Amino acid sequence: MTKIIAHRGLSAIAPENTFYSFNPMVDYDLDWFETDVSITADGELVLLHDDRLDRTTDHNGEISAQLFDDIIDADAGSWFGPEFAQASLLTMDDLTQFVSQTGMNLNLELKGITGPNCSALADQLVAKLVPYLRNINSQVNLIISSFSPIMLLKLHAAAPELAYAVLYDEHQFLDDWQLIADACDAQYIHLDQVDATPENINAIHARGFQVNVYTVNDIETVNYLTTLGVDGVFTDVAHQLVARKVPAMA
């Protein structure tokens, strides 16, 4: 059975990584979602996909250069539509509460940290994150993923008991892929759909890893990947791929 993983929540119908895209997941038979975590200059954890605030909020600049108090009131919804103007950035406290309330399984993606203070910030991100992850992992299934081997290795050193996934950018899944996966004791490989060939999927399975594929927004490709035996797909349109639990009001 291929898992349907709501990518940044129901991000095709509401602003990604906010309660507007998270809360409606509950109305569907969805049991997995993905979100992204980053860190501010003063060490607070915020759910944000991009390195910068510009695309998805009314603020600008790199998240790792901002103070938490300066950004936490940002409007994280108007970029998507005026009806979402009340959407705010979410924290790890918000995420933990959402998971506790819904019981949904989580793939948390750690963003790589760049900039002059990146090593110290990465260490701070790991130190702050571990208690949250242990709490979440005690309640639901949790997969930690990252494109950044450094982030995976740092977090794995601090919390080896968690489940890890190595994320590969488009066309970056190369012959030596298992080196990083073994170094962080990963159980999952996360591939861009262009790299989700039968050969790659079979090779990953043959070595005992599961494979989840991103970001697949058309049903034909989801069906095709299912026939190839992928273990999960990330999609912005999870609501279209599963049955609604509660009939929509007329």
We find the least distance from the C-beta atom of residue 215 to ligand G3P, in angstroms, to be 6
Residues binding Mg ion (CB under 5 A): 36, 109
We find the least distance from the C-beta atom of residue 238 to ligand G3P, in angstroms, to be 13
We find the least distance from the C-beta atom of residue 109 to Mg ion, in angstroms, to be 4
Interface with ligand G3P includes 156 (CB under 6 A)? no
Give the separation between CA 134 and CA 151, rounded to whole angstroms. 17
Give the separation between CA 61 and CA 101, rounded to whole angstroms. 33
> Which amino acid type is present at position 154?
K
Which option in ligand G3P, Mg ion, none does residue 135 bind, with CB closer than 5 to 8 A by kind? none
Q: Are 39 and 128 in contact (CB under 8 A)?
A: yes
Q: What's the token pair of residue 19?
A: 């309660």
Nearer CB in complex with ligand G3P: 57/145: 145
We find the least distance from the C-beta atom of residue 214 to ligand G3P, in angstroms, to be 4
Give the separation between CA 49 and CA 85, rounded to whole angstroms. 19
Nearest-CB residue for Mg ion = 109
Give the separation between CA 27 and CA 120, rounded to whole angstroms. 40
Nearer CB in complex with Mg ion: 62/203: 62
Which option in ligand G3P, Mg ion, none does residue 156 bind, with CB closer than 5 to 8 A by kind? none
Which option in Mg ion, ligand G3P, none does residue 239 bind, with CB closer than 5 to 8 A by kind? none
Interface with ligand G3P includes 49 (CB under 6 A)? yes
Plot region of 8 (φ>0 → left; ψ -120 to 50 → alpha; else → beta): left
- In the window 105-124, what residues touch ligand G3P (CB under 6 A)? 109
Q: What's the token pair of residue 24?
A: 């409606």
Interface with ligand G3P includes 190 (CB under 6 A)? yes
Give the separation between CA 28 and CA 243, rounded to whole angstroms. 6
Give the separation between CA 190 and CA 166, rounded to whole angstroms. 6
Nearer CB in complex with Mg ion: 36/195: 36
